Structure 1
Amino acid sequence: MLTEEEKKKLKFRINTSVSEYRIQKKKKRIRNWMGAAAAIIVVVFSLNYIQLNNVSELKKYVDNTTMDFDKEKDIKLVFNKDEEVKIEEDTSLITYSNTGSNVKVNNKELTQSSKDNFNTVIVPYGKRTQITLAEGTKVWINSGSRLTYPVVFNGDKREVFLEGEAIFDVTHDKNKPFFVVTKEYDVKVLGTVFNVSSYHDDAHTSTALKEGSVEIKYQGNSIFGKSSLKITPGTLAVYDNKNKTLKSKKVDVSKYMSWRDGKFIFKKQEMNVIIKKLSRYYNTKIEIKNNDLKKQTFSGHLDLKESIEKVLEVLKQSTDLEYKIEDKQIVIN
């Protein structure tokens, strides 16, 4: 039998061994955690480094190019930064040959020397244009918008940059996906019809899909770089530019495409949003002074072939809207 002194020594050794085991186990957990954390940091920095250094030539061109809207309010077609063609008509049709070297603007034939350049169409408020790119994709560009694109699409993808709003009818090519790049997110497609709205003074960037499927890549709140969301026809995806969140819902997409056909379609739309769209479309400054009226809603069709005054008269019939013209701007009370 063990003496009391031997029992005490044995108990001490056991307790010491248990304590040391626990300490070693804790150290091992800490080392494992630190190793995992270091691995995550390496992955995150690697992903961010790849993204930062994987900037396309188009994005570099846009970031290094300053192109303002024409003071004379004409549509501008810019050939590689230094040559401009002004288009005076309110609406126009721009068509590229399949080589990109020949461009038809309405009934005028133009030629550009290099096919390695980027071209830009700048559409001021109050005007619109339609463009057919060299590979056949059709783009309807709304008021206050800018589209930059290569003369011909080389490489393994087709990429254009949009500021403002446009409807795309993309020629299908499964081997060369089409990307619409905006300041806030990128839209990847193979062949489809959709609308993208990305105005610099809007709080949201949106995509409404009519046909096909698209994948939206956006900068979310994840530390692992960009997030992505695929949407199906009849879906509206709205990105909050400030909070970096993207939400989607089923909608009637026809109202997001209707401006192409010269009309606005609204369903319970707040008046301040409607007036902002009309201001861009007609290139007319419109101010709502009545805060309660800003929140009133309107449902119906507005014929954009009519004058702004006639359109406002339509709004008057179902809202509390009253307006007057002061110093070439419209004031709504």
Structure 2
Amino acid sequence: MEEGNIRRIIGTFFKNRFSAQTAGRFFYWLRIDTDIREKEEALEEIWERTPSMATDKTRADFARLRARIETARRPAGHRHPLRRIARYAAALALLAATGLAAYFAAVSSAPDTSSPRMAEHFVPYGESQEITLPDGSVVWVNAGSVLIYPESFTGRTRSVYLNGEADFSVAKNPKKPFVVHTKNMQVEALGTVFCVQSYPGARYVRTSLEEGSVRVRVSTDGGAELYSAVLTPDKQLTYARHTNEVAIDDVDAASLVMWREGHLIFQNAPLEEIVLKLEKRYNIRISYNAALYEGRYYYIKFQPHETAEQAIAILAKLIGASYQFNESVVYLH
């Protein structure tokens, strides 16, 4: 596997909450005898970025984790790669809010060799890509997004994991629900077309439904379920991370997913969301005073053929601002 992909998989995992089953698969992959050097380097980076503070609980978690690592039973003569990465396992304990330290200890002595391999698909800024999943479902992944999924759906559900934005056209299989996991949202469908938007750092997480029906479960950063609802077509559920508020609005869902053809259409969207999408489409950075536009919402459409400067000119006119380009940085005044 390419080194950049390994780093993205590990980084994505530490930014989200996942089920014990998925965490078990992840840590089995982490411990197998492949790409050890790249895995160690990625874990070391996470360790270096982790705040250097720990509570009594995290110290106790790590002590139990280390003891479990040292006493794990292994076949004679087999050097388990877990020993080689154990010195970075403290990053898990210090990131106790993710709950991954407990999962790591739980699976340290019992890898599930029947679990399918995990595949990762990353789309760079300025691009969007279409992929077909093992069950025939089609996913359009937007710029700056990561989609992680098993190479075969062998469990009771078809679970995939998203950081960013993707549009899903799900192959029907009533016996095996299709579930999209993000940091604050779980979207379950049997056979449907829907879009999920959950970029790291963005204040809003959204699901909009084009066809069929989906059940959306919203959870706080701490993992507690906050809200659950079934969406019907042309409904959009929005979770505001900064206020823990949930809203369901009427939208033209088909228009919202026209980014697959290069269009960007916003309906009652805050400026920060528009800026985020433009930054990812054109691979630029937009600097502006967010406080001036707090509580304002906009309707705007950008065409596929428009250049970055044309798109910024349209946006500036909409919000009543001037703009200045400085290489890849745009300043809105």
Q: Is the 8 A contact 2:267 2:300 kept in 1?
A: yes
Aligned mates of 2:224, 2:317 — CA distance in 1? 52
Could you tell me how far 1:208 is from its partner in structure 2?
A: 0.4
Structure 1 position 119 matched with structure 2 position 114: no
Aligned mates of 1:318, 1:204 — CA distance in 2? 21
Aligned mates of 2:261, 2:172 — CA distance in 1? 23
Aligned mates of 1:119, 1:232 — CA distance in 2? 31
- Percent of aligned pairs with the same amino acid: 29
Q: Is the 8 A contact 2:186 2:218 kept in 1?
A: yes
Q: CA RMSD in A?
A: 3.4
Number of residues of Structure 1 aligned to a counterpart in Structure 2: 237
Alignment-mate amino acid for residue 185 of structure 2: Y
Secondary structure of 2:257's partner? helix
Alignment of 1:142-153 (within 5 A): 142-153=142-153
Aligned mates of 2:198, 2:298 — CA distance in 1? 23
Could you tell me how far 1:185 is from its partner in structure 2?
A: 2.0
Partner of 1:56: 21
Q: Is the 8 A contact 1:117 1:150 kept in 2?
A: yes
Which entry has the higher C-alpha Rg, 1 or 2? 1
Aligned mates of 1:273, 1:117 — CA distance in 2? 34
Secondary structure of 1:121's partner? strand
Structure 1 position 330 matched with structure 2 position 295: no
Q: Is the 8 A contact 2:256 2:266 kept in 1?
A: no
- Write 1 or 2 for the structure with the bigger share of strand: 1
Q: Is the 8 A contact 2:184 2:218 kept in 1?
A: yes
Could you tell me how far 1:224 is from its partner in structure 2?
A: 8.7
Structure 1 unmatched runs, 5+: 1-51, 69-113
Q: Is the 8 A contact 1:210 1:233 kept in 2?
A: yes
Structure 1 position 166 matched with structure 2 position 166: yes
Alignment-mate amino acid for residue 57 of structure 1: T
Partner of 1:132: 132
Structure 1 position 262 matched with structure 2 position 227: no
Alignment of 1:285-304 (within 5 A): 285-289=285-289, 292=292, 298-304=298-304
Kindly provide the CA deviation profile for residues 119-149 of structure 1, in whole angstroms up to 9, marking residues without a partner as x: 0011222222110112110001111111000
Alignment-mate amino acid for residue 173 of structure 1: N
Larger CA deviation: 306-315 vs 286-295:
286-295
Aligned mates of 2:24, 2:122 — CA distance in 1? 17
Partner of 2:81: none
Q: Is the 8 A contact 1:220 1:227 kept in 2?
A: no
Q: Is the 8 A contact 1:217 1:227 kept in 2?
A: yes
Secondary structure of 2:20's partner? coil
TM-score by length of 1: 0.62
- Write 1 or 2 for the structure with the bigger share of helix: 2
Aligned mates of 1:294, 1:243 — CA distance in 2? 14
Q: Is the 8 A contact 1:220 1:245 kept in 2?
A: no
Aligned mates of 2:297, 2:224 — CA distance in 1? 40
Larger CA deviation: 128-137 vs 56-65:
56-65
Alignment of 1:160-239 (within 5 A): 160-219=160-219, 227-239=227-239
Secondary structure of 2:309's partner? helix
Partner of 2:48: none
Could you tell me how far 1:213 is from its partner in structure 2?
A: 0.5
Could you tell me how far 1:316 is from its partner in structure 2?
A: 4.5
Alignment-mate amino acid for residue 152 of structure 2: V
Secondary structure of 1:321's partner? coil
Could you tell me how far 1:259 is from its partner in structure 2?
A: 1.2
Distance 1:53 1:116, change over 3 A: closer
Aligned mates of 1:224, 1:116 — CA distance in 2? 28
Partner of 1:321: 321
Structure 2 unmatched runs, 5+: 1-16, 31-38, 43-113
Alignment-mate amino acid for residue 208 of structure 1: S
